[in-house]
A = this chain, B = another copy of it.
Amino acid sequence: MKKIINSVESLLEESLNGFAKAHQDIIEFNNTPHFIRRKQLSTNAKVALISGGGSGHEPLHTGLVGIGMLDAACPGYIFTSPSPDQMMAAAESVENGAGVLFIVKNYAGDVMNFEIAGEMLSCPCDTVLVSDDVSLPKDHPTGRRGVAGTLIVEKIVGAAAEAGASLAECKALGDRVNKATATMGVALSSCTVPALGKPTFEIADNEMEMGVGIHGERGRQTMPLENADQIVKHLVEAIDPELQPQKSQKVLLHVNGFGATPLMELYLVFDLAATLWQQKGIDVVRSLVGNYTTSLDMAGCSVTLTLLDDELIGLWDAPVHTANLRWGC
């Protein structure tokens, strides 16, 4: 294992210390228990948005805390759910009179711990479960996983909360964006979890994993490595029947790198995916290309499509100021 770390045990805290130091103008780091919170809370009563999950997906979620997005994020150890006491402490720190909305990627541990925290909170609290990964069937026993579409839910609900939407409105909006969002990913390599010290799975030089999540796990299918045209066709064809975008439908197209794939390749994937949808008359009006929901040093990427309307476009465009997503301020 080749990593720039001091020890497996100290990695998370040292990294969060650096994050807090680099972004001290907008966030604060609470060490015991771990959470990152927005430095300046809204002066009005505002729904507090809180997310979290295992670390190793940076910038998700800590890099998305700030004006117009999350109020707090709870990082667990790498690929490990944060604990209810982190979520409780974060909620109590940022709640300011309009309740708490948890935005939770659908993984058993995260769901359970956020549920426990929600039950223990004394303020109104609700949860949006993100389940955008279409590599698993709709009727999968534990439901579909939350992956790169989570950022889109957080951005859009974050803008609504900032504009004064109620807890019920934020919850309904989050569910709506989740339903309008689908993601499919492909990996060319596994990642190396520091505590394990070696790649999670072996993959041959002429193979790829189609339908992967974001934890370096095996995908839906190991396939022969193909060229970019064919890879992107698989991704688009997995998403298309789920959302069934009609002609002239406005969409956000998000190409997310898992960590080790160069930006050149991500933009190439964006071009091919956009072209395929444009050929069907779909209107790609917004885009996001880069490493946002990563899986440590995994090579590969996912494609996410979100069906937009004018309200969602307005919320996507609204000002945001976080460590890793920033515009309009």
- Interfacial residues, chain A to chain B (CB-CB below 8 A): 2-7, 11-12, 14-19, 21-23, 55-56, 58-59, 63, 78, 186, 188-189, 205, 208, 225, 227-229, 231, 259-272, 274, 284, 287, 289-291, 294, 296-297, 299-301, 324, 326-329
Kindly report how many copies of this chain are found in the complex they form together: 2
Given known A4-B265, A15-B264, A263-B59, contact A21–B294 (CB-CB < 8 A): no
Question: A287 touches which one: B16, B21, B58 (CB < 8 A)?
Answer: B21
Q: How far is the CA of A231 from the CA of B14 in the complex (A)?
A: 15
Q: Given the complex, which residues of B lie within 8 Å of A261, measured CB to CB?
A: 4, 297
B265 touches A22 (CB 8 A): no
A267 touches B22 (CB 8 A): yes
Secondary structure at chain A's binding surface: helix, strand, loop or mixed? mixed
B269 touches A2 (CB 8 A): no
CB distance from A299 to the nearest CB of B (A): 7
Q: How far is the CA of A55 from the CA of B265 in the complex (A)?
A: 12
B228 touches A6 (CB 8 A): yes
B189 touches A265 (CB 8 A): no
Question: A264 touches which one: B56, B189, B231, B267 (CB < 8 A)?
Answer: B56
Q: List 12 A-B contacts (CB under 8 A).
A: A2-B189, A4-B186, A4-B188, A6-B227, A15-B271, A16-B267, A22-B287, A260-B260, A260-B297, A260-B299, A262-B296, A263-B291
CB distance from A250 to the nearest CB of B (A): 15
Q: Which residue of B lies closest to A278 (CB)?
A: B21
Question: A231 touches which one: B4, B231, B291 (CB < 8 A)?
Answer: B4
A56 touches B21 (CB 8 A): no
Task: Give me the 4 closest cross-chain CB pairs, A-B, nearest first.
Answer: A18-B271, A18-B267, A58-B263, A260-B260
CB distance from A151 to the nearest CB of B (A): 14
Q: How far is the CA of A328 from the CA of B327 in the complex (A)?
A: 7
A227 touches B5 (CB 8 A): yes
